Amino acid sequence: MSSRSPYPADLRDRAVRLVLETEDQYPSRDAAIKSIAAKLGIGTAQSLRNWVRQAEIDAGARPGTNTAEAARIRELERENAELRRANEILKAASAFFAAELDRPQH
Quick check: is 40 in a domain? yes
Look at residue 2 in the predicted model and tell me its pLDDT. Answer: 47
Smallest CA-to-CA distance from 20 within 42, 47, 52, 48 is with: 52
Per the CB < 8 A criterion, the answer to whether 83 and 77 are in contact is no
- Look up the CATH number of the domain holding residue 58: 1.10.10.10
Look at residue 3 in the predicted model and tell me its pLDDT. Answer: 55
Look at residue 102 in the predicted model and tell me its pLDDT. Answer: 78
Quick check: is 90 in a domain? no
Quick check: is 106 in a domain? no
Question: How would you class 33 by CB atoms within 10 Å of its CB: exposed for 0-12, middle for 13-18, buried for 19 or more?
Answer: buried
pLDDT (tens digit, 0 to 9) for every residue of the chain, 106 residues total? Answer: 545 678 999 999 999 999 999 999 999 999 999 999 999 999 999 999 999 999 999 999 999 999 999 999 999 999 999 999 999 999 999 999 888 887 777 6
Which range marks the domain in which residue 54 is found? 9-64
Look at residue 6 in the predicted model and tell me its pLDDT. Answer: 86
CB neighbours of residue 97 within 10 Å = 10
Structural domain total, the chain: 1
